[in-house]
Amino acid sequence: MELPKSDLPLSENALVVLAKRYLKKDIDGNPVERPEDMFRRVARAIAEPDRNYDPNSDIDSLTDRFYDLMTSFRFMPNSPTLMNAGRVLGQLSACFVLPVEDSIESIFEAVKHTAMIHKSGGGTGFSFSRIRPEGDIVKTTHGVASGPISFMAIFDVATETIKQGGTRRGANMGILRVDHPDIEKFITCKTRTDRLNNFNISVALTEEFMEAVRAGESYSLYNPRTGEEVRRISAPKVFAEIVKAAWSSGEPGIIFLDRINRDNPVIHLGEIESTNPCGEQPLLPYESCNLGSINLASFVRNGKFDYQALKETVRDGVHFLDNVIDANKFPLDKIREMTLRTRKIGLGVMGFADMLIALSIPYNSPEARKIAEDIMAFIDKESKAASMELGEKRGNFPAFSGSLYEKQGLKFMRNATTTTIAPTGTISIIAGASSGIEPLFALSYIRRVLDGNELIEAHPLFVEALKERGLYSQELMERAASSGSIQDFEEIPSDLKRIFITSMDVTPEEHIAIQAAFQKHTDNAVSKTINFPEEASVEDVTKAYLLAWKNGLKGLTIYRYGSRPVQVLNLKKKEDSSDKTHEVQAVASENGKIAPRPRPVRTQGVTERMRTGCGNLYVTVNWDDQDFCELFAQMGKAGGCAACQIEAESRLISLALRSGVSPKAIIKQLSGIRCPSPIWFEGKQVLSCPDAIAKVLSSVADIEIKEKKDSPMTCPECGAMMEPEEGCMLCRSCGFSRCS
């Protein structure tokens, strides 16, 4: 694919992301618009709703203003707005929450609506807390209920089959209240990594539960069908199970449900039960979120932060996002009705780490926490002022009567919420900014370009600082790319080490402190990943969860480095004598070339089922009294090119085995081959069908494939490293995201 031309100061990474995911394409998949055309398309579409309120509006001037807002990289709307504004699909929201009631009709209606939303480019959140527990009675059939987790699997399969708008695959959030009888099964439902791979899961913690944890007491579980208490269990025990699972796999996350509803401005419409897929946007059933992010780094001028320029951008951002609601083509009438009723928007930030570096403020310092709180307080205040002005001109959001704003004595408010710290993933790549409020994941990293070559890229401010000191070198960049931190680099001065902090240099307590500083002045919640080193203990995670509760957070997502390894595969070296056990007598043909020995009449063997991104793969390995002699593999579904390729691979492997080639050599060639659809199966990632075959052969032959613990996740699309950011995994090379 040829990259689009552009006069905008876009990096090559940004151009790759735009070409793959955002720009209009022809029938062959080639971009037919430049980035400038995309931004102009979006600006025009979002300016048009002003006519609804003033037929004499100067749409051309507003289009120019919105165009400058985006092309100066001061502000970016969420991805669906960039993708779909001004196009036929026209679905502009990033995320939705759907209700799931305790009936087959409601459950499958929600599955249907999920499919429609994912097709349009959105993600979905659900609370499964209303579904009766496993083993409960079903009066209509005189049977027993299968419980919420079994129904989650149905949503997961539906998500797997739908490609969102041709650009994104659906993401889901599954939430269960901590007082649901099936809570212990839910906590561990993703420790087996071959299921629910299209779900993030979180436990909704109540204040009653947290107080019981602190007091070391039991708490009640309630059957949602009857509302009656079914039993009491130890709160510390359940809390420990949550922590252990999160330590092991990064899930479940936690949300503090009572705290979320305490700040619910439209509590008279109902209680919030769920959030969007990354957890930062609590929503009522059928609400959608309309998000955008301000690039804080663009407001640093001559070593100082320009609050006046930020004020103007906040006002423009609120205007932009309110117009998005009117320009939106919602996937369901119920969603349109509920979204228009509350008109929630979420203005957030990105480029926080870049801003700190430009101001010479260490990320893990009290100064960073203070400026985080000051800036977010300013954004919250100015966004409310802008919303009040719009409310006076355009009318309050329809559910204003009875809201917290009316009770506070306010007369006008256009939007029920105005601020959210959302993941910025690919939009931060476009803007050339650091993600959200995260620290830098690395100062230097390897980027795989379209021709397959590898390039070393580094943070521009890091390169600039090194060049000013005469310290820049390619060798240093390569070391930085492999180490992830420069704190042990003797040649780098301490003042630079102090400023150029990476996520590995920030303690969990410091991560939480930054999240808490932003949460104090954010209506909704804050998306952030709390990174732990691989050697972190379960007790370390326990302390972090309790600290999050103490510091007023609305939720927490942790990632312990290496807890879900998708690492480079290396064969463990064995003694030379072990290889000799695989030597066999090969038959020489007449021309002197090695030929396979005849297939034995009788063999014995094993068959293993492996789950791959293409479906179930059944691999049979056979041997006789001499050695391994053949391998067969077959997909669960017959026919197609994949089946032909697998049969060809099987025949060649069998020939190799009977020709004296050691299984170890075969495994080495097949291991790590990657296809576009890697998948988790029984705690390991299966990269492709050949990789699955290698795993089975290594298991049967007792040849260990060692998974390196010090390698970051690799992107299934381009092979570059992925970064744990904002509760998800993001490739900054091509824009691939595990959450979309």
**Catalytically active residues, by annotation:** 276, 278, 280
Rounded distance, CA 105 to CA 112, Å? 11
Residue corresponding to tokens 């055309």:
37
Of 180, 336, 169, 160, the C-alpha closest to 273 is 180
Rounded distance, CA 531 to CA 250, Å? 10
Strands (E), 569-678: 569-571, 587-588, 594-595, 604-612, 615-623, 628-635
Side-chain-side CA neighbours of residue 679 (13 Å): 20
Residue corresponding to tokens 């552009």:
6
Q: 653: part of which helix (H) or strand (E)? A: helix 640-658
Beta bridge mates, 632: 620
The token pair at 662 is 């050691």
The angle formed by the CA atoms of residues 361, 364 and 366, to the nearest 5 degrees, is 70
| DSSP states along 71-96 | HTTSEEE-HHHHHHTTSSS----SEE
Residue corresponding to tokens 């100062």:
443
Contact assessment for residue 129 and residue 177, using Cβ atoms and an 8 Å cutoff = yes
Contact assessment for residue 318 and residue 394, using Cβ atoms and an 8 Å cutoff = no
Contact assessment for residue 544 and residue 563, using Cβ atoms and an 8 Å cutoff = no
Going from the C-alpha of 727 to that of each of 200, 363, 449, 559, the distances in angstroms are 9, 19, 26, 8
Instruction: Give the count of beta carbons closer than 10 Å to the beta carbon of residue 520.
Output: 14
Q: 16: part of which helix (H) or strand (E)? A: helix 12-21
Contacts of 606 (CB under 8 A, 6+ apart): 620, 621, 700
Of 96, 98, 99, the C-alpha closest to 121 is 96
Rounded distance, CA 68 to CA 62, Å? 10
Rounded distance, CA 312 to CA 318, Å? 10
Establish whether the linkage from the previous residue to 252 is cis, with ω within 30° of 0. yes
**Helix, coil or strand: residue 620:** strand
Instruction: Locate all alpha helices (DSSP H) within 563-639, ordered by sequence.
Output: 576-580
The token pair at 139 is 């009066």
Burial per residue of 118-131, b for 16 or more beta-carbon CB atoms within 10 angstroms, e otherwise: bbbbbbbbbbbbbb
Amino acid (one-letter) located at 78:
N
Residue corresponding to tokens 């070559």:
453
| DSSP states along 30-49 | -B-S-HHHHHHHHHHHHHGG
> 555-560 and 529-532 as β-strands: parallel, antiparallel, unpaired?
parallel
Q: Assign residue 147 a region: left if phi > 0, alpha if psi is -120 to 50, beta otherwise?
A: left
Contacts of 393 (CB under 8 A, 6+ apart): 53
Instruction: Locate all alpha helices (DSSP H) within 432-493, ordered by sequence.
Output: 460-468, 474-483
Rounded distance, CA 5 to CA 47, Å? 26
Contacts of 278 (CB under 8 A, 6+ apart): 171, 173, 200, 422, 423, 527, 557, 726, 727, 728, 739
The token pair at 194 is 């071959």
